[in-house]
Amino acid sequence: MIVGAVITAAGKSSRMGAFKPLLPIGGVPAAQRLISSIYEAGIDNIVLVTGNRAEELENSLRHMNVTFLRNDMYEHNEMFDSIRIGVGHLKTQCNKILISPVDVPLFTVETVKTLLKSNASIAIPTYDNKPGHPVAIGGRAIFEILEYSGNGGLRCAIADLSLDIENIIVNDCGILYDMDTQEDYAAIVKMQQSANRL
């Protein structure tokens, strides 16, 4: 099985009021932390889709050996468009692709490994009956998601397409923590600090 990963990082971070990919978590920028976790899970073909402050972000991550692709229309389109840019790049290279926004930086390596064991077209992690990130897609799901033209992003694409979906319970509340606001960011930093003390 050849696995790749798409991380979307093109957004304007408007609700946060700060540039989310480079906000530190445990002394490491969020984007770098996320990439490191994916590498540790055994995935070494990683695509980062940039847009807002693209050059700054790319320069900060040059040492991580990821592929940078740009969503030049990030001010006018949605995160799903960034997903399609990344998936489109990997579609002929991989038969399974992990997808995550850059602002969900705390999911564990074990969660990634668990998702990759699934034989379903779509594997979604759940914690406390709530779905989170990352999501793993495989087989024909890769191509059907690229062709999806409806609204509502990846979640709606998954719901609308006739694909087999496996919701996988994981012992990882990090799948639910995204940092859209300063309050979200403070909660993520606190969670990471608590985990380090265990």
Please list the pLDDT of the chain residue by residue as tens digits (198 residues).
Answer: 899 999 999 998 777 888 999 999 999 999 999 999 999 999 999 999 999 999 999 999 999 999 999 999 998 888 999 999 999 999 999 999 999 999 999 999 999 999 999 999 999 999 999 999 999 999 889 999 998 887 778 888 888 888 899 999 999 999 999 998 999 999 999 988 887 765
Number of domains in the chain: 1
3-state secondary structure of 115: helix
Domain that holds residue 124: 3-197
Predicted TM-score (pTM) of the model is 0.94
- Compute, in degrees rounded to 10, the torsion defined by CA atoms 171, 175, 177, 180: 180
Q: Is the dihedral of CA 36, 182, 10, 84 positive or negative?
A: positive
134, 147 in Cβ contact below 8 A? no
Residue keyed to tokens 């859209």: 180
Residue-level pLDDT at 88: 96
**In 3-state terms, the chain is what percent helix, strand and coil (to 5)?**
40, 25, 35
Residue 108 sits in a domain whose CATH number is 3.90.550.10
